[in-house]
């Protein structure tokens, strides 16, 4: 059947795939085809589709046509290369490479030089006249085949290799001669026999089949599953297999292999950046076996190949309009490209490249806005070393992934994960990392390795995760036996604090103060482009002029939530607050409130001034009053010491009375207790004072020429009558203050929607409310019936067991809580079409929740100051995503 095409050829004019076929061919296969289409030299080969992977994993066998199509493709490959698979005169050797839709570094393994056996290796040697090369290829193939396909511990081959080098007194693999390599090949076959109980399969077709099976099976190995989980990659994508004719970087000193980025992946600087090794193959460069050379020196070594590489990388960047991560091999001076993909980069590099490429005319602003993720913005605002701090650098490695981190030293990934679970901050210190370490790297604050370059596993993965990483810190010696590492005569034990700076490569003993940077330069530019695109407002949650200023500097367009209770906790206020709460009658309470009035007024003046005409939503007192009182135990202690010291009777009496009051106010369930508008209804004088403070503050600033529109917000409304009665009262106060001050201006009275009943009756509530703000923290709490303060006991288990996809207090539960928000918006607008609706609470700065908010029609989100830039970008991306769908 024609539509059952499972194999796609690439590498010449008959290339069948292209870049847009990533779902079917995987990223590697699609881009190999695309390079071939661009006329770039790619060793020919073919791609077996991801569909085959899924069918094979499901059924355990291949559809019949697949085998035929593979056989035909091999024949075609033989024709194109003029070599023959399994031939003893001129053998075709191939690589078998995995390649999923998105790159999964190190997750899947590659087998090189497949097709070699005891006979073809002789053919290869004769054909090339290079005995050493032939047996170098053979021993590599046996290792990779043993490791990847036969699942024999890599270490077994590695230690045989080390022993051989030791016996011969050489250090580098390249110093082994043909006869040593020949002996190694024999030893390796022996290892395979011993470990598997069968002989190494000499038959090339058998080797090919086994390698293909292994790639498909590796889709479901533990490392791959963990990586997918951490990166939200669906298991149902599957991987493709690329079978490609070999080119040889190990043919001598005019051959080599390397990896490069078209721009600096750490800083985003526009310079070619990479590493290579002469007389090497495949993963030698990234495996840290020999220390690779910087790409710039290739210019002197092999100028012609370098010039070609330069032309190709420009071509690739222009074509893909993004920074590329490329892999190449030079065979006796001739350059071949083996891979290109969008390069992983740090947050700083993502930002710089996005802005630079707009300036270079490669991409438009809209595209640039999609090139940086909100999470990356978060990272950019993450800590660096405090420039004021004094410290001594203990050792220096490569600046592999920027940012600074502080934590306790651990030496294994498992330990890192355990410690992180116990809320400890750790720095993972390893000789080098491998894919098994991914969980531990994710759990650590930062990573330090002893070996490896800028493209080592640790560096690549850390940059992807946005973790600070210092790689190749060679002066560090790890002693696993004593759980310590040393740098010359300094010993650092497991559990000791260190600080690393991945921007400079420094390792520092102890804890250094970290600072968080602000929005400037390119970030400012990118966010201004985001602002041009986004339709939803971004406000901030702020209770102090300082926070409000920080948020404005981050681009906040007003305050969406000012929690007035935070003002009550101030040292100068709490005595009056307690006096107010403990008052026996209204008169005494009013007297205490009178003391608070001028302070509240000053608070609001401060906020209004910073916001300078932007809307400010002020929420009236929300928490239960007992939160402001001293705890019973505290009072009991005081009483005991007063009695012991023979304190005055009146003081003892006073404390006793307070204690009685405290005891009487204890609530079994304070979250659902006497709080929010329930306070306003039972103690109207509190809200009256607050509204007076708001209106007086506004009057004062108005007189000075400032334009203020206060938004007064009533919390925890569940029934419209609560709002109606409170509002009536407050409007009366507001009007009378304005009359007193002879000042008139608009103000709004609105409500939080944070209880399911409020969302469900939002049409009625909107008859009174002039705006809504969804308090998604309480709404999540009351919708799930999860107490926020107690959820820590079970939520982690829920998430671990996939009962919930994520913490609903961090990521809005769109299906449940989100549905209530949707209902609330629809019902609210049904009775007051122009009602202004926002969201405050943690979710207002969480990217997926912001995007959801846009799609259901919010006017604005409000979030903590540091999340304002994240929300600005997420809101813009929401618009683009909607347009693209
Ligand atoms: P990964 O996904 O881990 O990067 P690859 O499939 O890209 O694995 O293979 C790793 C390396 O193996 C490549 O960068 C390249 O150096 C080498 N390699 C793969 N196929 C060939 C080939 N046909 N000829 C020469 N080298 C190859
Ligand atoms: Mg690999
Ligand atoms: Mg690769």
Residues 597-628 have pLDDT tens digits of 999 999 999 999 999 989 999 999 999 998 88
- Does the CB atom of residue 696 touch ligand 1 within 6 A? no
Tell me which residue has its CA closest to atom 15 in ligand 1. 282
In this prediction, residue 401 carries a pLDDT of 84
Ligand 1 closest atom vs CA 285: 16
What b/e readout covers 710-732, taking b as 16+ CB neighbours within 10 angstroms?
A: bbbbbbbbbebebbbbbbebbee
555: β partners = none
Per-residue confidence at 562, pLDDT binned at 50, 70, 90?
A: very high
User: Considering the chain, what percentage of its residues have pLDDT values greater than 70?
Assistant: 98
Ligand 1 closest atom vs CA 328: 16
In this prediction, residue 460 carries a pLDDT of 75
154 is an active site residue: no
How many Cβ atoms from other residues are within 10 Å of residue 789's Cβ? 10
Q: Are 215 and 96 in contact (CB under 8 A)?
A: yes
Tell me which residue has its CA closest to atom 8 in ligand 1. 110
- Does the CB atom of residue 148 touch ligand 1 within 6 A? no
In this prediction, residue 353 carries a pLDDT of 97
Task: List the beta strands (DSSP E) in 232-370.
Answer: 239-245, 256-261, 273-278, 293-294, 324-331, 334-342
Q: Which of 208-212, 581-585, 702-706 has the highest mean pLDDT?
A: 208-212
Dihedral sign for Cα 609, 610, 616, 619, please. negative
First to last CA, the chain: 33
In this prediction, residue 80 carries a pLDDT of 96
- Tell whether the model's pLDDT for residue 2 goes beyond 60: no
The runs of H, that is alpha helices, within 647-755 are 649-665, 677-682, 684-703, 720-741
Q: What is the mean pLDDT of residues 197-218?
A: 95
Distance CA 366, CA 100 (A): 28
Distance CA 570, CA 566 (A): 7
Distance CA 573, CA 566 (A): 10
pLDDT tens-digit series, residues 11-50: 988 899 999 999 999 999 999 999 999 999 999 999 999 9
Class of residue 242 by CB neighbours under 10 A (exposed 0-12, middle 13-18, buried 19+): buried
- Tell me how far the alpha carbon of residue 338 lies from the centroid of ligand 1, in angstroms: 6
pLDDT tens-digit series, residues 273-308: 999 999 999 878 777 667 889 999 999 999 999 999
In this prediction, residue 1 carries a pLDDT of 42
pLDDT tens-digit series, residues 91-126: 999 999 999 998 775 556 789 999 999 999 999 999
Pair of tokens at residue 81:
């290369």
- Does the CB atom of residue 95 touch ligand 1 within 6 A? yes
Per-residue confidence at 518, pLDDT binned at 50, 70, 90?
A: low
- Tell me how far the alpha carbon of residue 376 lies from the centroid of ligand 1, in angstroms: 29
- Tell whether the model's pLDDT for residue 309 goes beyond 70: yes
Report helix, strand and coil shares of the chain as percent, to nearest 5.
50, 15, 30
- Does the CB atom of residue 457 touch ligand 1 within 6 A? no
- Tell me how far the alpha carbon of residue 106 lies from the centroid of ligand 2, in angstroms: 4
Q: What is the mean pLDDT of residues 699-721?
A: 95
In this structure, the dihedral spanned by the alpha carbons of residues 804, 809, 813 and 814, taken in order and rounded to 10 degrees, is: -160
Q: What angle do CA 583, 589, 590 make, to 5 degrees?
A: 165
Which residues contact residue 5 at a Cβ distance below 8 angstroms, ignoring those fewer than 6 apart? 49, 69
Which residues contact residue 180 at a Cβ distance below 8 angstroms, ignoring those fewer than 6 apart? 164, 168
Tell me which residue has its CA closest to atom 26 in ligand 1. 282
Distance CA 10, CA 38 (A): 12
Tell me which residue has its CA closest to atom 18 in ligand 1. 282
Q: What is the mean pLDDT of the chain?
A: 93
- Does the CB atom of residue 722 touch ligand 1 within 6 A? no
In this prediction, residue 105 carries a pLDDT of 59
Tell me which residue has its CA closest to atom 24 in ligand 1. 246
**pTM, to two decimals:** 0.81
pLDDT tens-digit series, residues 802-828: 899 888 988 999 999 999 999 999 999
Distance CA 178, CA 131 (A): 6
Distance CA 423, CA 413 (A): 15
- Does the CB atom of residue 34 touch ligand 1 within 6 A? no
Tell me which residue has its CA closest to atom 12 in ligand 1. 282
Pocket test for ligand 1, best of 329, 337, 344 (most atoms within 8 A of CB): 329
In this structure, the dihedral spanned by the alpha carbons of residues 854, 785, 808 and 442, taken in order and rounded to 10 degrees, is: 170
- Does the CB atom of residue 283 touch ligand 1 within 6 A? yes
840 is an active site residue: yes
Which entry of 53, 562, 677, 840 is annotated as an active-site residue?
840
- Tell me how far the alpha carbon of residue 282 lies from the centroid of ligand 3, in angstroms: 9
- Tell me how far the alpha carbon of residue 95 lies from the centroid of ligand 1, in angstroms: 7
Closest ligand to C-alpha of residue 283 is 1
Ligand 1 closest atom vs CA 45: 23
Per-residue confidence at 464, pLDDT binned at 50, 70, 90?
A: low
Phi, psi dihedral angles at 579 (to 5 degrees): -60, -45
- Tell me how far the alpha carbon of residue 260 lies from the centroid of ligand 1, in angstroms: 13
- Does the CB atom of residue 246 touch ligand 1 within 6 A? yes
- Tell me how far the alpha carbon of residue 318 lies from the centroid of ligand 3, in angstroms: 21
pLDDT tens-digit series, residues 357-414: 999 999 999 999 999 999 888 778 877 888 788 899 999 998 888 889 999 999 999 9
Per-residue confidence at 519, pLDDT binned at 50, 70, 90?
A: low
- Tell whether the model's pLDDT for residue 865 goes beyond 90: no
- Tell me how far the alpha carbon of residue 471 lies from the centroid of ligand 1, in angstroms: 23
User: Crossing angle for the helix pair 521-533 and 868-884, nearest 10 degrees?
Assistant: 50
- Does the CB atom of residue 96 touch ligand 1 within 6 A? no
- Does the CB atom of residue 112 touch ligand 1 within 6 A? yes
User: Considering the chain, what percentage of its residues have pLDDT values greater than 90?
Assistant: 77
Which entry of 53, 382, 415, 457 is annotated as an active-site residue?
457
Distance CA 610, CA 553 (A): 10
Per-residue confidence at 193, pLDDT binned at 50, 70, 90?
A: very high
Q: What is the mean pLDDT of residues 467-484?
A: 93
- Does the CB atom of residue 123 touch ligand 1 within 6 A? no
């Amino acid at each position: 059947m024609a539509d059952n095409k499972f194999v796609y050829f690439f590498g010449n004019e008959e290339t069948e795939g292209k870049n847009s076929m990533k779902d079917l061919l995987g990223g590697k296969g699609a881009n190999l085809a695309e390079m071939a289409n661009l006329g770039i030299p790619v060793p020919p080969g073919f791609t077996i589709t991801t569909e085959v992977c899924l069918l094979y994993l499901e059924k355990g066998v291949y559809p019949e046509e697949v085998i035929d199509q593979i056989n035909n493709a091999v024949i075609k490959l033989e024709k194109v290369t003029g070599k023959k698979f399994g031939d003893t005169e001129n053998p075709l050797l191939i690589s078998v490479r995995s390649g999923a839709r998105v790159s999964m570094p190190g997750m899947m393994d590659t087998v090189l030089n497949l097709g070699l056996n005891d006979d073809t290796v002789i053919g290869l040697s004769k054909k090339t006249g290079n005995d050493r090369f032939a047996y170098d290829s053979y021993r590599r193939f046996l290792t990779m085949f043993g490791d990847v396909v036969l699942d024999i511990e890599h270490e077994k081959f590695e230690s045989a290799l080390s022993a051989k080098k030791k016996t011969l007194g050489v250090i580098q693999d390249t110093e082994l001669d043909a006869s040593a390599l020949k002996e190694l090949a024999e030893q390796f076959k022996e290892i395979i026999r011993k470990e598997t109980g069968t002989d190494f399969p000499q038959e090339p077709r058998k080797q090919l089949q086994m390698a293909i099976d292994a790639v498909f099976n590796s889709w479901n190995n533990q490392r791959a599953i963990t990586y997918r989980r951490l990166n939200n990659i669906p298991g149902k994508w599957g991987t493709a297999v690329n079978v490609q004719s070999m080119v040889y970087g190990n043919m001598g000193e005019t051959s080599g292999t390397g990896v490069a980025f078209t721009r600096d992946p750490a800083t985003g600087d526009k310079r070619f950046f990479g590493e290579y090794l002469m007389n090497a193959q495949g993963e030698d460069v990234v495996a840290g076996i020999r220390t690779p050379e910087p790409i710039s020196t290739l210019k002197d070594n092999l100028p012609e190949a370098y010039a070609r590489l330069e032309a190709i990388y420009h071509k690739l960047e222009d074509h893909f309009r993004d920074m590329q991560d490329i892999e190449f091999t030079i065979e006796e001076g001739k350059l071949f490209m083996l891979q290109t993909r969008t390069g992983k980069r740090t947050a700083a590099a993502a930002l710089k490249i996005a802005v630079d490429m707009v300036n270079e005319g490669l991409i438009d602003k809209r595209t640039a806005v999609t090139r940086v993720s909100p999470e990356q913005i978060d990272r950019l605002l993450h800590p660096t070393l405090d420039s004021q701090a004094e410290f001594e650098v203990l050792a220096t490695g490569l600046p592999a992934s920027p940012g600074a981190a502080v934590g306790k030293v651990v030496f294994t990934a498992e330990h890192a994960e355990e410690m992180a679970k116990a809320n400890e901050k750790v720095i993972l210190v390893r000789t080098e990392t491998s894919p098994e370490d991914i969980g531990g790297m994710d759990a650590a604050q930062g990573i330090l390795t002893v070996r490896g370059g800028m493209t080592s596993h640790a560096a690549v993965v850390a940059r992807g995760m946005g973790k600070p990483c210092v790689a190749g810190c060679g002066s560090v010696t790890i002693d696993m036996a004593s759980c310590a590492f040393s740098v010359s005569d300094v010993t650092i034990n497991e559990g000791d604090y260190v600080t690393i700076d991945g921007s400079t490569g420094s390792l520092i003993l102890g804890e250094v103060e970290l600072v968080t940077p602000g929005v400037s330069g390119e970030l400012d530019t990118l966010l201004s482009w985001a602002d041009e695109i986004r339709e939803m407002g971004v406000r901030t949650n702020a209770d102090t002029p300082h926070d409000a200023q920080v948020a404005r500097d981050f681009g906040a367009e007003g305050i969406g939530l000012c929690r007035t209770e935070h003002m009550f906790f101030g040292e100068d206020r709490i005595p009056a607050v307690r006096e107010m709460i403990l008052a026996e009658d209204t008169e005494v309470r009013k007297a205490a409130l009178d003391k608070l009035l001028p302070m509240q007024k000053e608070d609001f003046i401060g906020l209004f001034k910073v916001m300078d005409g932007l809307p400010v939503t002020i929420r009236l007192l929300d928490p239960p009053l007992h939160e402001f009182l001293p705890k019973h135990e505290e009072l009991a202690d005081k009483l005991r010491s007063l009695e012991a010291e023979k304190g005055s009777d009146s003081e003892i009496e006073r404390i006793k009375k307070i204690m009685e009051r405290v005891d009487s106010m204890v609530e079994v369930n304070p979250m659902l207790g006497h709080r929010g508008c329930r306070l306003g209804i039972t103690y109207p004088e509190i809200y009256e004072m607050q509204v007076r403070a708001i209106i007086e503050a506004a009057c004062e600033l108005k007189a000075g020429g400032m334009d203020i529109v206060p938004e007064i917000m009533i919390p925890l409304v569940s029934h419209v009558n609560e709002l109606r009665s409170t509002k009536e009262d407050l409007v009366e106060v507001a009007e009378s203050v304005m009359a007193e001050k002879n000042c008139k201006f608009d103000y709004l009275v609105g409500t939080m929607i944070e209880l399911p009943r409020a969302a469900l009756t939002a049409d009625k509530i909107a008859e009174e409310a002039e705006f809504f703000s969804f308090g998604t923290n309480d709404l999540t709490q009351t919708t799930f019936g999860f107490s926020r303060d107690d959820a820590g006991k079970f939520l982690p288990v829920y998430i671990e067991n996939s009962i919930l996809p994520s913490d609903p207090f961090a990521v809005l539960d769109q299906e449940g809580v989100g549905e209530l928000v949707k209902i609330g918006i629809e019902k609210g607008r049904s009775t007051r079409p122009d009602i202004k609706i926002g969201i405050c609470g943690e979710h207002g700065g969480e990217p997926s929740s912001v995007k959801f908010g846009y799609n259901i029609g919010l006017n604005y989100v409000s979030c903590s100051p540091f999340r304002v830039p994240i929300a600005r970008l997420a809101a813009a991306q929401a618009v683009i995503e909607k347009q693209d769908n």
